[in-house]
Structure 1
Amino acid sequence: KGRDADAVTAAFREFSAKNLAKEKKPSIRRRLTKAKEQAKRQELERGEKIKNRDRGLER
């Protein structure tokens, strides 16, 4: 019975460590939302650069 208790304790430690790691990791939805916001910001910046760019060709 001593070995069984050790095995159960080890399994519980492993299980609780995995759960803590899952809680610390950001959810996929949050990561997706951040990525969308970042892409939108980059698109806006890129659009402003194109609008403000001087035309180098003069005739």
Structure 2
Amino acid sequence: MYLPAHFEETRPERLRALLRENPLATWVVQADGGLQVNHIPFMLDADRGPHGTLVGHVA
């Protein structure tokens, strides 16, 4: 994906804040009859892994 330099965010603290403030993602899959979109709650476990780990739940 093309990302112009003026939209690039590389500060880890801002990226972590963005994930904390917006803990909902969309999961798009191709299904019979077209695309299917599901909303998935996520949280960032900042202490897991070198950059943190996104943890989500799908039931």
Q: Which has the higher contact order (CA 8 A, sep 6+)?
A: 2
TM-score when normalising by structure 2: 0.21
The structure number with the bigger radius of gyration is 1
Structure whose residues are more often helix by fraction? 1
TM-score when normalising by structure 1: 0.21
